[in-house]
């Protein structure tokens, strides 16, 4: 992947419909975001072309967020900005994401509300 085609960011998510919403918003802002389905895919993609940002659905199956952040830090010369989102009713999961070291942690409803205005910031553009 050349720098010209490298995504501005990655999104760890297994919901294709929701990803389409995020990628469409990014595209409208002149940005690109690539969907990845596993933490291993995030790290592999980050090694190929360091993303400016990584968006993480904290409810992704099998996600070990502290391990992912440590692997990203090791894989990238510059640590990408990490924005995590999840269900507002699982405050303990969101709190754990903050404690793991995510730059921004939001309930999904706030993520959606701020999507258009903040996508550039979240993708490190």
Distance CA 115, CA 17 (A): 15
Q: How many CA atoms lie within 13 A of 77 on its CB side?
A: 3
What is the CATH number that goes with domain 9-122? Answer: 3.40.50.2300
Domain boundaries, the chain: 9-122
Cα–Cα dist 71/67, whole Å:
6
Q: pLDDT (tens digit, 9 = 90+) per residue, 4-44?
A: 455 689 999 999 999 999 999 999 999 999 999 999 999 99
46-57: pLDDT as tens digits: 998 889 999 999
């Amino acid at each position: 992947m050349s720098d010209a085609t490298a995504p501005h960011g990655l999104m760890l998510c297994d919901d294709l419909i929701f990803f389409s919403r995020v990628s469409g918003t990014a595209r409208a802002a002149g940005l690109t975001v690539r969907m990845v389905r596993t933490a291993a895919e995030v790290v592999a993609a980050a090694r190929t072309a360091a993303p400016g940002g990584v968006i993480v659905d904290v409810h992704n199956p099998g996600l070990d967020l502290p391990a992912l952040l440590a692997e990203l830090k090791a894989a990238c010369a510059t640590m990408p900005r990490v924005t995590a989102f999840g269900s507002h009713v699982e405050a303990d999961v969101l709190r754990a994401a903050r404690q793991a070291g995510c730059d921004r942690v939001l309930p999904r409803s706030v993520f959606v509300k701020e999507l258009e205005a903040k996508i550039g910031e979240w993708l490190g553009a």
